[in-house]
């Protein structure tokens, strides 16, 4: 594990690598989705929060048409790319994220200058905490400032989505960028994916005597394989047969009719999305009325729905969730797109150690790679640090 930099040492590192001081330093957080999984592309509701793990970029404008990129993670060295003629599919490794942002800004007609960028991130890679979006959101926040483009948060969300969909080639929605760009400390981001309407909902575990544990199973998830695409296709088919623009337009009272019209698999995919949307709405109500101690059962129900109806869990995620629950967590679910990645467990502070120990032991006994377990708190969205 590499030692991460603070703002001061990141600036010094930038000077050491690129020879001059950066114009500024920007950061954007990763995110955890509290509830609302696979509802985004069905134009439904999600409830993620920005976390206290961030991608930071030190950036300096150049006066030529060159982009130079370096990450403190790994040892790939400096990547140099020309500003003109960026094409989807041509960038490799992590540089496709910042270059995708440049490309998407150019598609909007924004004149991006050459620049040097040094990335340092504390968001774990590939754990389903959106380390990739954190890079994109930090980059766009920096370039929005440096170009004076004046994009709103909503416009930056759509621009990074364009980068992700059309340059990186991942068919993702707007949840991750919305959490990273629009999150706030002590709040979850209640997002309507149909119209990008956001309401910040108070969500703080610690005053309620709770901690939010993330259990990274280390099972690599991938958007590129068929699981994600086939779930999307089933949702579209369900909406088509039910005669609605998107599954968002069905509520739970329509499920009997859906069952009579759809084959078993498609019906269960539809039932997950419809009930998950409902769980998001009820979680928001409970957070507002009673606080986080009241949402455990909704987290549990979300996991069961993903495991049995949407079929996107895996043995490691199920073991993490079941073990956390039977050792004191008040609610637990896999989070993120599925097929690996992380689970969350809302846990009384006094039970944290017990849950951690039990999960590690259960993984050891099952012969699984040992998980990483850490706490997250709802943190601020993207910002300029200096």
Closest approach of ligand ADP to the CB of residue 96, in Å: 8
Q: How far is CA 41 from CA 236, 315, 354, in A?
A: 9, 26, 37
Angle among Cα 125, 215, 248 to the nearest 5 degrees reads: 80
Task: Tell the residue number behind the tokens 């959101």, with chain if given.
Answer: 137
Closest approach of ligand ADP to the CB of residue 130, in Å: 4
Where on the phi/psi map is residue 38: left (φ > 0), alpha (ψ -120 to 50), or beta? left
Closest approach of ligand ADP to the CB of residue 294, in Å: 29
Local structure of residue 7 (DSSP, 8 states): H
Told to check if 128 binds ligand ADP by CB under 6 A, we report yes
Q: Which of 40, 116, 176, 309 is catalytic?
A: 176
Closest approach of ligand ADP to the CB of residue 131, in Å: 3
Rule CB under 6 A: choose which of 131, 161, 177, 313 binds ligand ADP: 131
Told to check if 125 binds ligand ADP by CB under 6 A, we report yes
Which span sits near ligand ADP by CB under 6 A: 61-69, 123-131, 191-199, 237-245? Answer: 123-131
Q: How many residues does the chain have?
A: 386
Told to check if 160 binds ligand ADP by CB under 6 A, we report no
Told to check if 161 binds Mg ion by CB under 5 A, we report no
Query: How would you write 317-378 as a 3-class SS string?
Result: HHHHHHHHHHCCCCEEEEECCCCCCEEEEEEEHHHHHHHHHHHHHHHHHHCCCCCEEEEECE
Told to check if 186 binds ligand ADP by CB under 6 A, we report no
Catalytic annotation present for 40: no
Which span sits near ligand ADP by CB under 6 A: 58-66, 67-75, 145-153, 346-354? Answer: 67-75
Show Cβ contacts of residue 155 under 8 Å, excluding neighbours closer than 6 positions. Answer: none
Terminal alpha carbon distance of the chain: 26
> Quick one: which H or E segment has residue 107?
helix 96-107
Q: How far apart are CA 142 and CA 381, in angstroms?
A: 13
Number of residues engaging Mg ion in binding (CB under 5 A): 2
Told to check if 130 binds ligand ADP by CB under 6 A, we report yes
Closest approach of Mg ion to the CB of residue 224, in Å: 11
Closest to Mg ion by CB, 12 or 223: 223
Told to check if 132 binds ligand ADP by CB under 6 A, we report yes
Closest to ligand ADP by CB, 86 or 168: 168
Structure tokens at 132: 């990739």
Catalytic positions are 176
Q: Would you tell me which residues interact with ligand ADP (CB under 6 A)?
A: 71, 73-74, 93-94, 119, 121, 125-132, 135
């Amino acid at each position: 594990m590499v030692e991460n930099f603070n703002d001061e040492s990141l600036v010094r590192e930038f000077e050491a690598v690129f020879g001059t001081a950066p114009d500024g330093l920007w950061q954007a957080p990763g995110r955890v989705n509290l509830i609302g999984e696979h509802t985004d592309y069905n134009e439904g509701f999600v409830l993620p929060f920005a976390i206290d793990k961030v991608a930071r970029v030190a950036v300096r404008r150049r006066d030529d048409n060159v982009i130079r990129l370096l990450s403190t993670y790994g040892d790939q060295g400096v990547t140099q790319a020309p500003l003109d003629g960026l094409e989807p599919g041509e960038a490799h490794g992590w540089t496709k994220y910042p270059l995708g942002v440049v490309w998407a800004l150019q598609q909007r007609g924004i004149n991006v200058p050459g620049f040097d960028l040094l990335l340092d991130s504390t968001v774990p890679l590939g754990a389903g905490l959106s380390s990739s979006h954190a890079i994109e959101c930090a980059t766009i926040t920096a370039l929005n400032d440096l170009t004076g483009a004046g994009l709103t948060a909503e416009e930056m969300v759509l621009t990074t989505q364009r980068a992700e969909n059309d340059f990186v080639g991942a068919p993702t929605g707007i949840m991750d960028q919305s959490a990273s760009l629009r999150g706030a400390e002590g709040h979850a981001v209640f997002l309507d994916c149909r119209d990008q309407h956001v309401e910040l909902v108070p969500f703080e575990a610690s005053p309620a005597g709770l901690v939010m544990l993330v259990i990274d199973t280390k099972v690599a998830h991938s958007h590129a394989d068929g699981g994600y695409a086939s779930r999307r296709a089933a949702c579209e088919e369900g909406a088509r047969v039910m005669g609605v623009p998107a599954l968002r337009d069905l509520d739970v009272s329509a499920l009997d009719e859906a069952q009579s019209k759809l084959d078993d698999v498609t019906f269960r995919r539809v039932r997950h999305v419809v009930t998950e949307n409902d769980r998001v709405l009820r979680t928001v109500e409970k957070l507002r009325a009673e606080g986080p101690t009241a949402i455990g059962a909704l987290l549990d129900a979300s996991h069961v729905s993903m495991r049995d109806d949407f079929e996107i869990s895996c043995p490691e995620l199920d073991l993490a969730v079941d073990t956390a629950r039977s050792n004191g967590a008040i609610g637990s679910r896999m989070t993120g797109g599925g097929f690996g990645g992380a689970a969350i467990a809302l846990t009384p502070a006094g039970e944290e150690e017990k849950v951690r120990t039990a999960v590690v032991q259960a993984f050891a006994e099952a012969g699984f790679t040992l998980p990483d377990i850490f706490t997250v708190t709802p943190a601020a969205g993207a910002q300029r640090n200096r």
